[in-house]
Structure 1
Amino acid sequence: SEMAMLAMKSASGVSPSFGSPGGTVTSTKIKRLHENIRVGTWNVTTLSQAGKLHNAILEMTRMKIDVLGICEMRWPGSGSMNTHDHQVYFSGTDNNKHEKGVGIILTKKMAACVTNFIPISDRVMLLQLKGRPVDINIVQVYAPTADKKDEEIYELYHSIDEVLKKLKKEDVTLVMGDFNAKLGAGKTSDHVGPFGLGERNPRGDELEIFAETHQLVVLNTWFRQPPRKLYTWKSPKDKPGEIVRNQIDYIMINKRYRNSCTAIKTYPGADIQSNHVPLVGSFKIKMKRMSPKVQQTYDLRKLKDEIVRQSVKSAFIEKIKNKLSTSNNIDVTLSHFEKAVQDIKNEFLKPDKRKRKSWMTNEILELMEERRQVKDIPAVYKNVQNEIRRKIREAKEKEKQEQCLEVEYHQSRFDEFNVHRKVKEITGKFRKKNWGKLIDEDGNLIVTKDEQKEVWKNYLETLFYDTRITQEPVTANKEGPGILKEEIELAIKQTKEGKAAGPDKIPSEFFKLLDEEQLKWLTLIFNSIYESGRIPTPWLRSEFITLPKKPGAKSCGDYRTISLMSHLLKLFLKIIHRRIYRLCEEEIAPNQFGFRNAVGTREALFSVQVLFQKCRDVSCDVYACLIDYQKAFDRVKHEKMIEILKQTGIDNRDLKIISNLYWNQTAVLRLENEHTEEVAILRGVRQGCNLSPILFNLYSEHIFREALQDIDEGISVNGLKLNNLRYADDTIVFADTIEGLQTLMNRIHDTSQMYGLDINTLKTKFMIVSKKPISGVNLYINQNRIERVSKYTYLGTIVNESWDNSQEIKCRIGRARNVFNSMHAAFKSHDLTLETKMRLLRCYVFSVLLYGVESWTLTNETTSRLDAFELWLYRRILRIPWTQKVTNIEVLQIMKKSRELVNIVKCRKLQ
């Protein structure tokens, strides 16, 4: 029979390469990377302990495994990282707990073939690789144990079903991992072979149904092996007299490619302190190495070295000296400038290849090998394991000492950048590349890159779509001076360094290398644009990148889109901003605290605190609605915005620039170094643009001015009615009666809709600040009842109906304590001076604790609480246990300082 022939071929080691089922594909177009690869799966019980990842890679190398699937990885989050010439992909929990988790470790050569990674859940992940002539899909699975509810099993198989439905039928698909199911010995179908182990259980029936449904073959049941090479799990070592061995880990492949597997067996001699053993198969697979589409990075900090800076400046000026002209097309001239910058970056600013020094030593790796060889001698095994733990502690401590010395070195050179970088290394906050899965509007999983790009394109089109009118022409009459060279010099001086470049890849640092001649050229270019109103085409194209708003982001709405735009355009608009700022600022009321000079969140919180506290003191009830707008910055109507700008009386040339900028802009979204198609931006203020804050404030001001004109509702302050406080779009509306608040909200809602802004009635809340309890009061917006809350987080602080700061202070102390505990490795180190620790304490801990401190009301209780927390910090830094009878005075003497936290609070309140 066909399956018998398969078993015969497999046993003899003869198997045709796959490309088309059962036949050999020959082609000379693609260079082969591998003809035979080894793929394995292993439940390691955890990789979160120090040394476990090194142990897994050591065993991979010894067993010559190219791709190793990991179960029970126990790494929170999802992402990828490079380590020890291997690439690790992992998918874990969203709640930061070290539970469950799956992963795949690949050799450097195999990692070059990866085309896509989808973290499905903390039990399932998908990795796609480029093969010849078909691609390879690997689904890594960790199933719930037998004691878990059946619903968890059904949910697991459903999630795998969703993935497999999305994969191409002609591709090779491997589904492997710890299924916690026993298929048992004896052939039962064309999907489960005769060489299983033990007796089947109900979970085994479910696994066979799953294999039949998706036409998968369970490979490790089709190869005759001794029982020792079949079992994948044995009972824990604490039950030496009741050793049970089972086969619960499997590697499955789609049926049409079953003959690509030449051998498969377990390796009970492998050791990683797990009661599972690795299952490894050999496959005739031809891989195609992908050309890396990696975003090139550059070390712009090299420009801080004066010698390098002068060399770069000379080469840069020489390159652009004869290329820059004002007679040519501006787009062409700017492209010469862009190319010169790129050439200089490639020549001088490529980052030095520094391999991150590992704390792992050859001695520890040799001990791990020795431990593996004595697996069957428990007493010796335990002694070697204890020695490994001791050596790991010593190695980690030595690494921490070296890092602390580097912190002190950089601190002595006032190199804050490297100080913070090293502190993150000490505290273990190294960066991993974060990944997330994506679902469409119907909740379907999106797998391929093309589908992902299409979903994102549709999302952006919907987000920025509007029935915008045709652009009205603006006559650019000369009303003021042209752009002066001094304005450009000032704008360059105020430009911040270290910011991500836009689509043209020109960093702002290069503007500071321009000499007098280039500044004159830039002045002529800017004036040509300013007079004509025509903005260069590359400047009109923005590039979005995505950042998840929360762990476990799935839909496009769960991501924050960050816009990157040309720094040359930002420089130009910085000049426009200085020219229109005064006229626009005069239009904005003093109760707007967002994006304004000399005011911010501190002043907003202080104003709210003082106003509501005064109302309580005179027994005036306050009915407050905390408004949440739906994507307010992305809903601004361009035609309304231009109308408002006309009323401010700004120069027509400035108006024409802004109008052309908004009517002709497009954007793409960068997705793993690929881009979506261009999308027209028909509404919303430009993200990352110098003008956006002042334009949005102006827009918001006109909404509230129009909505609240001729309304005498609110709270009387010095004979005037005050009814709202705003920080950009974060708005509190208040009145002294519920009827007054309802009137205000009706007008604000209707006017906001006319201007394109929608109030999110689910997230908008209202509260009543009163000395006496008030019930039976309701607030409605657009016939939707608004939820009444006793507390609310406004601008990052907790406000409540009793207007008591004690709850906020407790919360701040708790957050500061969490930050301190997360950095305990630095604060408890003997290798950092007390002076450096105090700098870190003020930078990382006090900054979290003292946010919004200006609005606090200090009482004896809160003062004592702050004093106690400050001394708690010092005792932890000095590593003084609670059992030692050390007084607070003695602690301060050892620290060589006095209490400072309460004094800082008082000083900030006085400011």
Structure 2
Amino acid sequence: SEMAMLAMKSASGVSPSFGSPGGTVTSTKIKRLHENIRVGTWNVTTLSQAGKLHNAILEMTRMKIDVLGICEMRWPGSGSMNTHDHQVYFSGTDNNKHEKGVGIILTKKMAACVTNFIPISDRVMLLQLKGRPVDINIVQVYAPTADKKDEEIYELYHSIDEVLKKLKKEDVTLVMGDFNAKLGAGKTSDHVGPFGLGERNPRGDELEIFAETHQLVVLNTWFRQPPRKLYTWKSPKDKPGEIVRNQIDYIMINKRYRNSCTAIKTYPGADIQSNHVPLVGSFKIKMKRMSPKVQQTYDLRKLKDEIVRQSVKSAFIEKIKNKLSTSNNIDVTLSHFEKAVQDIKNEFLKPDKRKRKSWMTNEILELMEERRQVKDIPAVYKNVQNEIRRKIREAKEKEKQEQCLEVEYHQSRFDEFNVHRKVKEITGKFRKKNWGKLIDEDGNLIVTKDEQKEVWKNYLETLFYDTRITQEPVTANKEGPGILKEEIELAIKQTKEGKAAGPDKIPSEFFKLLDEEQLKWLTLIFNSIYESGRIPTPWLRSEFITLPKKPGAKSCGDYRTISLMSHLLKLFLKIIHRRIYRLCEEEIAPNQFGFRNAVGTREALFSVQVLFQKCRDVSCDVYACLIDYQKAFDRVKHEKMIEILKQTGIDNRDLKIISNLYWNQTAVLRLENEHTEEVAILRGVRQGCNLSPILFNLYSEHIFREALQDIDEGISVNGLKLNNLRYADDTIVFADTIEGLQTLMNRIHDTSQMYGLDINTLKTKFMIVSKKPISGVNLYINQNRIERVSKYTYLGTIVNESWDNSQEIKCRIGRARIFFNSMHAAFKSHDLTLETKMRLLRCYVFSVLLCSVESWTLTNETTSRLDAFELWLYRRILRIPWTQKVTNIEVLQIMKKSRELVNIVKCRKLQ
């Protein structure tokens, strides 16, 4: 076989170039690239400065580099972006700091060969490319400097070891970057050649051990070059006559493929204002360009144009006119509808190709080339660099002026979507494509897509597994009335636009294009489903996507799974929801504030605030437990839920639909436009479903009703005992004694477990609200002692033992100030009118500040803080320094307005 031949030649000392003829290709979607590939690595000091990325691409083009690894990229987060016909992959810090960081820049042709990207840390990343006959792995590394502790070096090499262990032995593996290690001159093994530079240091010994362990060859020590073409780093402290040059950047490759490298050397003439020089090697490679599996996007906002809307409506009605019937199988009929929608989207709603205009100019690029040519003349070099900086500032300012003019244009047309899009561009808040690494339950790194899909499949199976009983036939007495066309029309009218489509790719906007005839057809289809109880197969399949809960998410549990489901099913369930809502709502107690009309987080926080403050004022101690359930929505037992619905007395057909929906549902998880295998959902309420909020409220209501029946603990309010307040699953349980609270928690814990819900004793907290200090009091749940805290964040608001708002208000002002500073490019621009700036201020900054303001207690100190912060904002917008000594009255006169922040707070408190 081919791999056997490769192994035999490698063993005989003749190592063939990877990409030798003889491989087979089975996919017709792959194109081969037959050429020599130039791969380099370069420590650029930073790419976060304006113009540095353009500079790197300029040098790549000049040196004809296809793949360039970057060290000290200093971009926070991890992800990829496309710019100037190059693809950039980067892996940086999780704390949003512009430190360390690695990346790889590829030409458009090479980017088409990328199959996988794994950001390991802010010092290591893996990029995998498709080659022939074997694939290529590139590990980019930035090692700690010599002044760092040895522990950091061990951690670095350990992380690289974890990556290399996961790679196939027959694949080509390149490990390259700035290792901050000196191997020195002279051959010391089969892994380090005779043409190194300088003297070895201890970090060089560690690097050689690493190379031997993984059978890697340090390529730039095996090619004879003059010293000028060997050094990769020049000391920044150089003085005339005391120039220090070292070789600390390396490119390593599997020993069996060492002869695939035909040349390697440094290019000291390259310039990017770094004390490192690029190291570039030429390789004999045959690559395979993959046809990307890109999910087609559509611009549904075009439907807001009346001319386009009418054209789409006419074409859509014509396409489905003779294809929709009720006599055929419903699945087949719905597939015709789905295909018609897809055809119309392809014909009318493809997004306009809008290439983002770059601020970079040819003049600046020419100056960068001029700067490179005078690199050895410091005085001239400095002058050219100053000119480049000036030109960059001018170009960036011009770009910002153009963007601000676009904001004003869209503002004049009341186009909020494009206003917000442009503001994000001005402030740099546009989202790059985010990536993250994945580890399994044992902490092992997962590399291949197939392994990732398997890990996610196992996670979902575990998350939704339950020993569910066999579905029981519905035996309720009442039959629900048939679905009316008017009910469908009302449901369509209430449907929100701009929501992600489900697996059938039918957007909700298309329902509003249906005419009278199609609405009659839809009414017949819905009635057929409603009467039979048989739900179409496509409706039973949901599609999960993942969003990280926090920066640096690694395990499956660190991600939030968001479910996308068919909008046709949502439309159908809207009608069911309206029919069962009244009966279910009557069962729910008034101390539940979640998912209910006319109440929400504001009312929940206000109720808790008033209750606890009143208790404190009359010297009534409050012992409160803030419960955190483990994945409460995913732990609901289906058989218990159906039993509760039966007791509620909903109609037979409604109950049958819900039962069939829950007993036959499946889901897949989407990863980069690929899907895991289907997983049966055996417990939990359906994510993204219209019915889930009311069903969960009903479920939790029965838990607390059963747990707290015939119990006389809590706080007396108008002669009634109140012992809990809830917002969905976020629950506060309280009593006037610790014994009473312990009794309540024992009952709630036991009953919750019967219903499948588990209290997370690590995240559940205990608090005492009292005027006098109370110590030596403990609360236990399931024999675990609950941590007592002096403050806690409940529904996004800080509550504390003294029940004082001052700490929350300080925190809110701090958050609003941070958000304002992050958008300073827009607020301090001379090209936006004050009116537009005030609209942006109310939208982006005041909304952060005034969250849950209804529960605040206003004092003179609080009012002064809010007034001072408001004037601080206006002074920053007007760019008035404190040295000008402009009074607050003068500031308001310039703004042509009066103070408004405190008045907004007062008005909201009165609502």
State the TM-score, normalized to the length of structure 1. Answer: 0.98
Offset, 1:16: 4.8
Q: Corresponding residue for 1:881? A: 881
Give the Cα–Cα distance (whole angstroms) in 1 for the partners of residues 7 and 237 of structure 2: 35
Give the Cα–Cα distance (whole angstroms) in 2 for the partners of residues 146 and 380 of structure 1: 33
Q: 1:741–1:640: structure 2 CA closer, same or farther, 3 Å change rule?
A: same
Q: 1:722–1:478: structure 2 CA closer, same or farther, 3 Å change rule?
A: closer
Offset, 1:253: 0.4
- The question of whether the paired residues in 2 share the 8 Å contact of 1:40 and 1:67 is answered with yes
Give the Cα–Cα distance (whole angstroms) in 1 for the partners of residues 789 and 194 of structure 2: 64
**1:648-703 deviation digits (Å, cap 9, x = unpaired):** 11111000000000000000000111000000000000000000000000000000
Offset, 1:12: 20
Offset, 1:479: 2.9
**1:385-411 deviation digits (Å, cap 9, x = unpaired):** 000000000000000000000000000
Q: 1:401–1:8: structure 2 CA closer, same or farther, 3 Å change rule?
A: farther
Offset, 1:430: 1.6
- The question of whether the paired residues in 1 share the 8 Å contact of 2:670 and 2:676 is answered with yes
Offset, 1:34: 3.5
Q: Corresponding residue for 1:785? A: 785
Q: Secondary structure at the match of 2:286?
A: coil
Q: 1:570–1:273: structure 2 CA closer, same or farther, 3 Å change rule?
A: same
Give the Cα–Cα distance (whole angstroms) in 1 for the partners of residues 125 and 642 of structure 2: 49
Offset, 1:18: 1.9
**1:121-156 deviation digits (Å, cap 9, x = unpaired):** 000000000011110000000000111111100000
Give the Cα–Cα distance (whole angstroms) in 2 for the partners of residues 16 and 355 of structure 1: 43
- The question of whether the paired residues in 2 share the 8 Å contact of 1:131 and 1:285 is answered with yes
Q: 1:750–1:371: structure 2 CA closer, same or farther, 3 Å change rule?
A: same
- The question of whether the paired residues in 2 share the 8 Å contact of 1:15 and 1:261 is answered with no
Give the Cα–Cα distance (whole angstroms) in 2 for the partners of residues 2 and 316 of structure 1: 54
- The question of whether the paired residues in 1 share the 8 Å contact of 2:77 and 2:96 is answered with yes
Q: 1:853–1:65: structure 2 CA closer, same or farther, 3 Å change rule?
A: same
Give the Cα–Cα distance (whole angstroms) in 1 for the partners of residues 499 and 655 of structure 2: 27
Offset, 1:481: 2.0
Identity in percent: 100
Q: 1:8–1:251: structure 2 CA closer, same or farther, 3 Å change rule?
A: farther
Q: 1:590–1:2: structure 2 CA closer, same or farther, 3 Å change rule?
A: closer
- The question of whether the paired residues in 2 share the 8 Å contact of 1:10 and 1:263 is answered with no
**1:426-446 deviation digits (Å, cap 9, x = unpaired):** 001121010100000000000
- The question of whether the paired residues in 2 share the 8 Å contact of 1:78 and 1:434 is answered with yes
Give the Cα–Cα distance (whole angstroms) in 2 for the partners of residues 678 and 2 of structure 1: 36
Give the Cα–Cα distance (whole angstroms) in 2 for the partners of residues 742 and 382 of structure 1: 73
Offset, 1:239: 3.5
Offset, 1:33: 1.3
- The question of whether the paired residues in 1 share the 8 Å contact of 2:74 and 2:92 is answered with yes
**1:451-498 deviation digits (Å, cap 9, x = unpaired):** 000000000000000000000011576634211111111110110111
Give the Cα–Cα distance (whole angstroms) in 1 for the partners of residues 325 and 477 of structure 2: 26
Q: Secondary structure at the match of 1:803?
A: coil
Q: 1:742–1:36: structure 2 CA closer, same or farther, 3 Å change rule?
A: same
Q: 1:229–1:573: structure 2 CA closer, same or farther, 3 Å change rule?
A: same
Offset, 1:291: 1.3
- The question of whether the paired residues in 1 share the 8 Å contact of 2:9 and 2:16 is answered with no
**1:265-300 deviation digits (Å, cap 9, x = unpaired):** 000000000000000000001000111101110011
Q: 1:628–1:25: structure 2 CA closer, same or farther, 3 Å change rule?
A: closer
Q: 1:51–1:449: structure 2 CA closer, same or farther, 3 Å change rule?
A: same
- The question of whether the paired residues in 1 share the 8 Å contact of 2:2 and 2:23 is answered with no
Q: 1:10–1:412: structure 2 CA closer, same or farther, 3 Å change rule?
A: farther
Q: Corresponding residue for 2:249? A: 249
Offset, 1:2: 21
Offset, 1:27: 13
Offset, 1:821: 0.3
Q: Secondary structure at the match of 2:141?
A: strand
Q: 1:710–1:240: structure 2 CA closer, same or farther, 3 Å change rule?
A: farther
- The question of whether the paired residues in 2 share the 8 Å contact of 1:235 and 1:242 is answered with no
Q: Corresponding residue for 2:907? A: 907
Q: 1:14–1:165: structure 2 CA closer, same or farther, 3 Å change rule?
A: closer
- The question of whether the paired residues in 2 share the 8 Å contact of 1:6 and 1:259 is answered with no
Q: Corresponding residue for 1:172? A: 172
Q: 1:22–1:526: structure 2 CA closer, same or farther, 3 Å change rule?
A: closer
Q: What is the aligned-residue RMSD (CA, Å)? A: 2.8
Give the Cα–Cα distance (whole angstroms) in 1 for the partners of residues 83 and 129 of structure 2: 19
Offset, 1:35: 1.9
Q: 1:696–1:493: structure 2 CA closer, same or farther, 3 Å change rule?
A: same
- The question of whether the paired residues in 1 share the 8 Å contact of 2:218 and 2:252 is answered with yes
- The question of whether the paired residues in 2 share the 8 Å contact of 1:474 and 1:656 is answered with yes
Give the Cα–Cα distance (whole angstroms) in 2 for the partners of residues 12 and 85 of structure 1: 42
Q: 1:613–1:719: structure 2 CA closer, same or farther, 3 Å change rule?
A: same
Offset, 1:17: 3.3
Q: 1:600–1:241: structure 2 CA closer, same or farther, 3 Å change rule?
A: farther
Q: How does 1:27-176 map to 2 (within 5 A)?
A: 31-176=31-176
Offset, 1:7: 20
- The question of whether the paired residues in 1 share the 8 Å contact of 2:480 and 2:652 is answered with no
Give the Cα–Cα distance (whole angstroms) in 2 for the partners of residues 27 and 598 of structure 1: 57
Q: Secondary structure at the match of 1:125?
A: strand
Give the Cα–Cα distance (whole angstroms) in 2 for the partners of residues 910 and 16 of structure 1: 80
Q: 1:225–1:783: structure 2 CA closer, same or farther, 3 Å change rule?
A: same
Q: 1:723–1:23: structure 2 CA closer, same or farther, 3 Å change rule?
A: closer
- The question of whether the paired residues in 1 share the 8 Å contact of 2:540 and 2:665 is answered with yes
Q: How does 1:639-650 map to 2 (within 5 A)?
A: 639-650=639-650
Q: 1:4–1:488: structure 2 CA closer, same or farther, 3 Å change rule?
A: closer
Q: Corresponding residue for 2:225? A: 225
Give the Cα–Cα distance (whole angstroms) in 2 for the partners of residues 27 and 409 of structure 1: 49
Q: Secondary structure at the match of 2:847?
A: helix
Offset, 1:316: 0.6
Stretch deviating more after TM superposition (239-248 or 376-385): 239-248
**1:773-813 deviation digits (Å, cap 9, x = unpaired):** 00000000000000000000000000000001000000000
- The question of whether the paired residues in 1 share the 8 Å contact of 2:15 and 2:258 is answered with no
- The question of whether the paired residues in 2 share the 8 Å contact of 1:17 and 1:24 is answered with no
Q: Secondary structure at the match of 1:134?
A: coil
- The question of whether the paired residues in 1 share the 8 Å contact of 2:29 and 2:291 is answered with no
Give aligned pairs, total.
911
- The question of whether the paired residues in 2 share the 8 Å contact of 1:13 and 1:263 is answered with no
Q: 1:708–1:23: structure 2 CA closer, same or farther, 3 Å change rule?
A: closer
Q: 1:332–1:240: structure 2 CA closer, same or farther, 3 Å change rule?
A: farther
- The question of whether the paired residues in 1 share the 8 Å contact of 2:31 and 2:290 is answered with no
Offset, 1:706: 0.2
Q: 1:393–1:6: structure 2 CA closer, same or farther, 3 Å change rule?
A: farther
Give the Cα–Cα distance (whole angstroms) in 1 for the partners of residues 647 and 8 of structure 2: 86
**1:316-369 deviation digits (Å, cap 9, x = unpaired):** 111101110000000000000000001111111111111100000000000000
Give the Cα–Cα distance (whole angstroms) in 2 for the partners of residues 422 and 523 of structure 1: 42
